[in-house]
Amino acid sequence: MNLHHTLDCFPEVPDVLARLKSVGFATAILSNVAGAKLGGLIDHIVSVEEVGVFKPHPRVYQHAVDRLDVPARAIAFQSSNAWDAYAASAFGMRVVWCNRYNQRRERLAGAPDAEIRTLAELPALL
């Protein structure tokens, strides 16, 4: 089953993206799924299909840096997946882990710069 191709976002996501855009942040999705969409709220969609490997491979995060044309530390990376958050941190991105379900911290390289329970907490951190 490819249910991940049709999953909806969490209810607060559109409002948070709109708030970030209203204060000048560019928005992007780095996805293992081509064509992830959120209407006009996303400025850039970066798909791993262009790289040929999946997250958490470091080439995926390098691809995002290359496509967005910014240094890794200029990217504020958010994920609800611990493995993704830790991998992006190990790559050198600033990371906020949205730990919605109180998951345990990983024993991986890197560590999130901040941890939140809902994406609604994100704008205050940026």
Taking only the tens place, the pLDDT of each residue in 30-81 is 987 654 557 789 999 899 998 999 999 999 999 999 999 999 999 999 999 9
Count of domains forming the chain:
1
Query: Directed axis angle between helix 58-68 and helix 82-91, to 10°?
Result: 70
Contacts of 10 (CB under 8 A, 6+ apart): 100, 118, 119
pLDDT over 90 (residue 4): no
pLDDT band at 2 (very low <50, low <70, confident <90, very high): very low
Structural domain harbouring 118: 3-125
Give the pLDDT confidence score for residue 97 in this predicted structure: 97
**pLDDT score of 7:** 54
CATH of residue 59's domain is: 3.40.50.1000
**Class of residue 12 by CB neighbours under 10 A (exposed 0-12, middle 13-18, buried 19+):** middle
User: pTM, whole model, 2 decimals?
Assistant: 0.86
